[in-house]
Amino acid sequence: MNSSPSPLSPSRFEGCTLTGALSVLTELQDAICIIHGPAGCAHHNFSLLHATLLSNDRFEIPRLLSTDLDENDIIFGGEEALEAAIARALTLTPAPASIFVLTTCIVETIGDDTEAVCAKHRGIPVIPVATAGFLGGVFETGIRNALSSVASLARPGAEPTLSANLIGEKNLEYGVDENAAEIARLLGRLGLGINLRFVRGITTHDIERLGSAALNILRDPGLRPIGEDLQRRLGTPYIASFPVGLSGTCRFLDEVGRVCGIDASDAVEEERAYQRAMLEGFCDMAGSRVRFAPLHAMLETDPVAEAVCTECARALDLTIAPDGTLVPFPHPAPVGTAGVRRMLHRWRLQIRG
Digit-coded pLDDT (tens) for 122-164: 999 999 999 987 777 898 999 999 999 999 999 998 888 999 9
- Tell me: do 170 and 279 sit in the same domain: no
The answer to whether residue 2 is domain-embedded is no
- Give the pLDDT confidence of 22-81 residue by residue, as tens digits: 999 999 999 999 999 999 888 888 888 877 777 777 777 789 999 999 999 999 999 999
- Tell me: do 254 and 217 sit in the same domain: no
Instruction: Reduce the DSSP state of residue 263 to 3 states and report it.
Output: coil
The answer to whether residue 259 is domain-embedded is yes
Does 272 or 45 have the greater pLDDT score? 272
**272-298 average pLDDT score:** 92
Does 158 or 13 have the greater pLDDT score? 158
Q: Which residues lie closer than 8 Å to 217 by C-beta, 6 or more apart? A: 164, 165, 166, 167, 183, 238, 239, 242, 256
In this structure, the number of other CB atoms found within 10 A of the CB of residue 298 comes to: 9
What pLDDT sits at residue 2?
A: 36
Which residue among 213, 242, 271 closes a domain?
Answer: 242
- Tell me: do 74 and 181 sit in the same domain: no
Domain count, the chain: 3
186 within 8 A of 252, measured Cβ to Cβ: yes
What pLDDT sits at residue 215?
A: 97
Burial class of 158 by CB neighbour count within 10 A (0 to 12, 13 to 18, 19+):
middle
**Angle, CA 64 vertex, CA 179 and CA 144 arms, to 5°:** 45
- Tell me: do 273 and 293 sit in the same domain: yes
In this structure, the number of other CB atoms found within 10 A of the CB of residue 127 comes to: 21
- Tell me: do 115 and 32 sit in the same domain: yes
What pLDDT sits at residue 46?
A: 81
Amino acid 12 reads R
- Tell me: do 300 and 221 sit in the same domain: no
CA distance 344 to 261: 34
Domain span at 255? 244-353
Does 297 or 138 have the greater pLDDT score? 138
- Tell me: do 30 and 112 sit in the same domain: yes
Question: Average per-residue pLDDT in the chain?
Answer: 91
Instruction: Reduce the DSSP state of residue 63 to 3 states and report it.
Output: coil
Which residue among 92, 117, 151 closes a domain?
Answer: 151
Q: Residue 315 pLDDT > 90, yes or no?
A: yes
Q: Pick the closest to residue 21 from 103, 95, 136 (CA basis).
A: 103
- Tell me: do 225 and 299 sit in the same domain: no
Q: Residue 8 pLDDT > 70, yes or no?
A: no
Does 97 or 11 have the greater pLDDT score? 97
Reported pTM:
0.91
Of 108-112, 201-205, 210-214, give the lowest mean pLDDT range.
108-112
